[in-house]
Structure 1
Amino acid sequence: MRLPDADGGWRTVELAVPRDWQPHPVPHTSRIAFAAAHVIVDPRLENVPGAPAGVDWEATLAFRRHLFAHGLGVAEAMDTAQRNMGLDWPAAAELITRSAAQAREHGARIASGAGTDHLAAGAQVPLEQVTQAYLEQVAHVEGAGSQVIVMASRHLAAAATSAEDYLGVYTTILEQVSEPVVLHWLGEAFDPNLAGYWGSSDVTVATETFLGLVRQHAAKVDGVKVSLLSAEHERGLRAALPEGVRLYTGDDFNYPELIEGDGTHHSDALLGAFAAIAPAASAALTALESGDVDTYRAEMAPTLPLSRTIFEAPTFHYKTGIAFVSWLSGLQDGFAMVGGLQSARSPLHLARVFELANAARLLPDPDLAAARMRLVLDLAGLRA
């Protein structure tokens, strides 16, 4: 396969022999592992910026079965599914209901995002309205039979003037949830609208506020997912968590070492990257279940360059790479996204994603993947 370089040249990539990845139809036991899954659109619907999300439900749910088959749970209706970037609440609510039912059928784990995105985008609303919006979505997630992930809220970030404002809203939520939840701290790299979350732009100060909340309500917190892309911060935070509260890594740059752990503490996983590398992640976690750390490392190693490329700046456009790998892998018929987000990455970036997915042997039909890569290059006017 000939791939373009930024300097106008071309490089040749040898297509890798497909690997026969082994299924793991029950949840992994070495670590709790969720893949934050994307949605697949119906090409007959508009799916242009500002239009309601038009989801291909059959293909979207089939992708979740692909994740279940590798022992992964699904983190549903999260930012990977384009929450706050095209997936409106009516579509997210239906997605949660459908996906939770399917998870029950397959005996798989599912946790789903509850936020405030049914409020008008950009609206400045009082804290009481933010709290009520959260509670409405929490009720829907619990009613669907899914664990709740309390997502970071743009509306809360806009309304809050102090750490106490955040603590007040989250305390009300935690006092009313039926089962322990996952608290999600989404960093500025993933959503610039969330800068200064927890009441401070100083991460150390914000972390103390966050930890105070978790410690006070530890019985209602299953775990925390912190997506700040700092392995050092994550190691410090997980060591400070109350006993029984998990750290679900959201670090798509450093997940192999964080999941492996340091001999005292380890991270579980709730990662967008796992949607792209599900077979390899499953093989690594299977090795970890038998205590084979060397094989775990060997399985994870080829996935890290791919993940770091998919999540490179601007990081919030990583969703395009997740959908692209799914298309290259034959898990969806078209490369199209809610809001037209397939255009958010350049052809050269997509060529690097193709090259690294190929190197990790994650393309089950290399000829199909190469043909699809050529379509992208042809459409861009790039011909060797």
Structure 2
Amino acid sequence: MPRQSSATGGLTLLDPEGATSTAELAEAPSFTKPTEPLRSRIAYAAAHVVPQVWADNTPGQPADIDWDATLAFRRSVYSWGLGVADAMDTAQRNMGLDAAATRELIARSAEVAREEGGSVVVGVNTDHVDQDWIELDAIIDAYKEQLHFTEEQGAGPVLMASRHLARAAASADDYRRVYREVLASATAPVVLHWLGTAFDPSLAGYFGSTDWASASDVLLEIIGEHADKIAGVKMSLLDAAAEVSVRERLPDGVRMFTGDDFNYVGLIGGDTVGQGEGHSDALLGAFAAITPVASAAIQALDAGDPDRYLALLGPTEELSRQVFATPTFFYKTGVAFLAWLNGHQTAFQMVGGLHSARSLPHLSRIVELANVSNALEQPELAAERWHGMLRLNGVDA
């Protein structure tokens, strides 16, 4: 039983054996929104989607999106000075967000970005094609179709890793060919996305090899041949050494956007905090979960205060590691859970029933770590919602 009543400020926690304990509920953080654009780093939060509560949010059903809540979340991200990365894996791309909903999300999100004066990039893939296996020419055409639609909406394209290409490619040359032809049709620079198997096991061997060093050689060849068409590369291998290795070899003008939700503090801080040469910018699902903290940390870098950057962002990395724990592709559940705790949606519901993908003890650990890392924007609301969820599941809180 809890040692302290939640009514007196305690936060009930649940361990994997079913035992409860109580932690002190932290005070609300006192972060301030920036009054000018962030300067020292480019940072995108990869945003999730919120379904209608009354929709058939069960596996395999079309996504029925609550557009008011979904777009309000993006407005909140912009208000903290971050950009939005949309229609990517955090938005349940290939895990419940169907092609029609993806297309509408891109159009609506681009419109909100224009209204808010924010920066938005969106995922470009081949996933609107129903067949599991298609020829390379069809893959190129599918990429181009989504690329041109994205450009028409005024959003920045992120060329996501394609499951179709991973299945059809017989060698690294096939990757070279597909990217060469797709990039040739781009009218403005794009971001390339290398998504590791922790996020999507079907992408094993992407860029022609299961060895990251060999695959990175192919990626860098593609970038080197088309540097004028590439704004950056987002690496999501959860391997800091691999990211730094690629970062150091990028042509001038091509940015590294870290997608490493395990090691982002040192990668973003870089030489500013004594972590190697240079730095990575950010395109992170984690930043959707900790937007105010991320903003405050980058504001500290802007102010020339790396110690404050580390003090603010450092504690969030353990939280992020919990959100992205194995099986990593279920991290979207933690992002939506924190959005609900923080008042950005009325219910803990997800497209395709994915809100059931994590256990109560796993979510409890997220609550515990969010509490100590200033990631609960309204701690009393978060505690009220969490305790209600525990009671609904038969746990005293």
Shift of 1:345: 0.4
1:142 corresponds to: 151
Quick one: distance in 2 between partners of 1:328 and 1:238? 36
Large movers: runs of 4+ above 4 Å: none
Quick one: distance in 1 between partners of 2:331 and 2:18? 25
String of CA shifts for 1:297-328, please: whole Å, max 9, x gaps. 11111211111100111000000000000000
| Aligned equivalent of 1:55, options 41, 55, 65 | 65
Contact 1:131 1:173 (C-alpha < 8 Å) held by counterparts: yes
Quick one: distance in 1 between partners of 2:37 and 2:113? 11
1:351 corresponds to: 364
**CA separation of 1:81 and 1:20: change in aligned 2, threshold 3 A:** same
Quick one: distance in 2 between partners of 1:238 and 1:199? 20
Quick one: distance in 1 between partners of 2:389 and 2:342? 15
Quick one: distance in 2 between partners of 1:366 and 1:265? 36
1:197 corresponds to: 206
Quick one: distance in 2 between partners of 1:364 and 1:70? 13
TM-score, normalised via structure 1 length: 0.98
State, as a whole percentage, how many aligned pairs show the same letter: 54
1:211 aligns with 2:220: yes
Q: Secondary structure at the match of 1:44?
A: coil
Quick one: distance in 1 between partners of 2:196 and 2:285? 14
2:89 corresponds to: 79
1:151 aligns with 2:160: yes
Quick one: distance in 2 between partners of 1:148 and 1:8? 45
Contact 1:276 1:326 (C-alpha < 8 Å) held by counterparts: yes
Quick one: distance in 2 between partners of 1:195 and 1:383? 44
Contact 1:26 1:108 (C-alpha < 8 Å) held by counterparts: no
Alignment of 1:82-97 (within 5 A): 82-97=92-107
RMSD of aligned C-alpha atoms?
1.1
String of CA shifts for 1:35-78, please: whole Å, max 9, x gaps. 00000111122121111100000100000011001100000100
Contact 1:25 1:69 (C-alpha < 8 Å) held by counterparts: no
Shift of 1:25: 5.5
1:18 corresponds to: 28
2:4 corresponds to: none
**CA separation of 1:107 and 1:190: change in aligned 2, threshold 3 A:** same
Contact 1:47 1:338 (C-alpha < 8 Å) held by counterparts: yes
Contact 2:15 2:364 (C-alpha < 8 Å) held by counterparts: no
Quick one: distance in 2 between partners of 1:116 and 1:376? 38
Shift of 1:26: 4.6
Shift of 1:105: 1.3
String of CA shifts for 1:140-180, please: whole Å, max 9, x gaps. 11010001000000011011111011111111011110000
1:286 aligns with 2:296: no
Quick one: distance in 2 between partners of 1:375 and 1:155? 43
String of CA shifts for 1:254-285, please: whole Å, max 9, x gaps. 10110111363110000000000000000000
Amino acid at match of 1:192: P
Q: Secondary structure at the match of 2:191?
A: strand
1:276 aligns with 2:289: yes
1:129 corresponds to: 138
Quick one: distance in 1 between partners of 2:95 and 2:219? 26
Amino acid at match of 1:94: E
Shift of 1:360: 1.5
Q: Secondary structure at the match of 1:49?
A: coil
String of CA shifts for 1:186-206, please: whole Å, max 9, x gaps. 000000010110111111111
Shift of 1:377: 1.9
- Aligned positions, number: 383
Quick one: distance in 2 between partners of 1:85 and 1:24? 34
Amino acid at match of 1:40: V
2:234 corresponds to: 225
Shift of 1:383: 2.9
Unpaired segments ≥5 residues, structure 2: 1-10
Unpaired segments ≥5 residues, structure 1: none
